[in-house]
Amino acid sequence: MFDSLSARFDQIFTKLKSRGRLGEKDVNDILREIRVALLEADVNLDVVKIFTERVKNRCIGADLSKSLSPAQQVIKIVNEELVEILGGQSFKLNYASKPPTVILLAGLQGAGKTTTAGKLALWFKQQGRNPLLVGADLARPAAVEQLRILAGQAGVSFYSDPQDPVQTARGGLEYARDIGKDVLIVDTAGRLSIDYDLMEQVRQISTSIEPDYTFLVIDAMIGQESVETARAFHETLKLDGVILTKLDGDARGGAALSVKEVVGKPIAFVSTGEKQDAFDIFHPDRMADRILGMGDVLTLIEQAERSYDQDVAAKGMASLQEGRFTLEDFLEQMQQVKKLGSLQGILGMLPGVPKEIRSAKLDDKELSRVEAIIQSMTPQERRDPTIINGSRKLRIANGSGSNTTQVNTLLKQFKEMQKMMKGMGPLTKSKSKKKRGGRVTLPSGRLKV
Ligand SMILES: Nc1nc2c(ncn2[C@@H]2O[C@H](COP(=O)(O)OP(=O)(O)O)[C@@H](O)[C@H]2O)c(=O)[nH]1
Ligand SMILES: [Mg+2]
């Protein structure tokens, strides 16, 4: 799921990062692209409007943090608002003070209710609970059998009464009390579309067992249409949350991104496959990271904010402005990168870094070698590498435990980087320096590998 949306965000952010300071027009351009990307992902129109409006307001009123580039700040805002749209916090389930905690599952046919009932039972069991599964879908004879099998696979108890769905649910509750089960999960019948009988039946079950939690199971593949279903169910049942299934499919993401805002109820759990353990509590923050395809970008930004030495950054900036960026600056910037943790890890976390580079072998050992080579140079050589002739190269290689080829490679890389940075010179005029803040916060992004 979310593959095409992720790809779109990746494109948008890559473009964003190639710009320096962002004006209102830039922000509007980005927002337009985000709007299109969300609509293509089948996100509800109202939700798209709310989302882009919030991002816009925050971008315009942004208090430009010194240690983040404008692009990083926009990404941070988009990420935070995405988490918000997805429900903010992870779902927290409170157990009833008087067991059992009663859970009612409702939804359309084929949404994944029965499968989910089994998964939920296993999940509770893994939390150290002792659940009872109740098969109250008597519309299809096979449904009860399906749940009985799932209960067996999960190793939990099962109850059903062939007479009547409401009686089954009620009987299940009494049975759970009798035999000391602490969680009751009731699977119900679904129809192909919402109809009066269906609603009436779940409503009666609900009245009879007074569930602590009523979850609507919805199929992510159906997109935002399933969110409309949720709205209808909510009117009758007073939902506590949604369980989103089939996230392993190629759903575009519309349902996940729309449901909280439209129904006002969070996604509690997600199902990501047919296997019984392909199921978990929903974490909005992790989902947002996944959508933005940026690994753990906020961790990176926070790490960068914490450990990047602003003075060194400023000095690097100054060198850039004057169009001189020496090997000494190069080394200093690299030492800063090292402070951030392993380079491989950082590249993995950086949004927009091409996959080839992310997986490229530039490990900390290599970084140490580069460091050793530069440290083996005289200060004069560091400032002006053009004086490094054959015999100097040999001396540097010997001094740093490397060979002349490695010294050559470093010098070549440095030259290219210097050229690249010179090209960026006009972007770093002193006036914009303050606003642009930590433009050089993440020099690793520019390391040639
Ligand atoms: N790929 C995938 N299939 C699922 C998932 N959840 C349910 N299914 C499948 O969806 C179909 C309908 O599920 P079922 O539980 O019978 O739906 P119900 O009619 O709502 O009870 C079954 O073939 C399930 O195996 C999921 O998370 N991923
Ligand atoms: Mg079923």
Is it the case that residue 211 has pLDDT exceeding 60? Answer: yes
Contact 170, 206 (CB under 8 A): no
Is it the case that residue 317 has pLDDT exceeding 90? Answer: no
Pocket of ligand 1, candidates 133, 245, 276, 277: which has the most ligand atoms within 8 Å of its Cβ, to mutate? 245
CATH says 101-288 is which class? alpha beta
CATH says 297-446 is which class? mainly alpha
Among all ligands shown, which has an atom nearest to the Cα of 140?
2
Instruction: Please tell me the least confidently modeled range out of 99-103, 174-178, 259-263, 365-369.
Output: 365-369
Distance from Cα 159 to the centre of ligand 2, integer Å: 15
**Residues in the 5 Å CB sphere of ion ligand 2:** 113-114, 143
The whole-number pLDDT of residue 335 equals 67
- Of residues 161 and 418, which shows the higher confidence score? 161
Distance from Cα 226 to the centre of ligand 1, integer Å: 15
Instruction: Please tell me the least confidently modeled range out of 36-45, 128-137, 243-252, 409-418.
Output: 409-418
What is the number of other CB atoms lying within 10 angstroms of the CB of residue 70? 25
Long-range Cβ pairs for the range 69-73 (8 Å, 24+): 69/17, 69/436, 69/437, 69/438, 69/439, 69/441, 69/442, 70/19, 70/20, 70/21, 70/22, 70/435, 70/436, 70/437, 71/13, 71/16, 71/17, 71/19, 71/22, 72/301, 72/441
Same fold, 3-85 and 297-446: no
The whole-number pLDDT of residue 430 equals 36
159 beta partners: 134
What residues does each domain of the chain span?
3-85, 101-288, 297-446
The whole-number pLDDT of residue 359 equals 46
Nearest CA to ligand 1 atom 25: 274
Distance from Cα 113 to the centre of ligand 2, integer Å: 5
The whole-number pLDDT of residue 427 equals 38
Q: Which residues have C-beta within 8 Å of that of residue 297, sequence separation ≥ 6?
A: 75, 79, 289, 349, 350, 351
Q: Does CATH number 1.20.120.140 belong to domain 3-85?
A: yes
The whole-number pLDDT of residue 319 equals 65
The whole-number pLDDT of residue 305 equals 53
Is it the case that residue 216 has pLDDT exceeding 90? Answer: yes
Among all ligands shown, which has an atom nearest to the Cα of 106?
1
Going by pLDDT thresholds of 50, 70 and 90, the confidence category of residue 369 is confident
Residues with CB under 6 A from ligand 1: 107, 109-115, 190, 217, 245-246, 248-249, 271-274
The whole-number pLDDT of residue 338 equals 60
Answering whether pTM is above 0.75, one says no
Going by pLDDT thresholds of 50, 70 and 90, the confidence category of residue 407 is very high
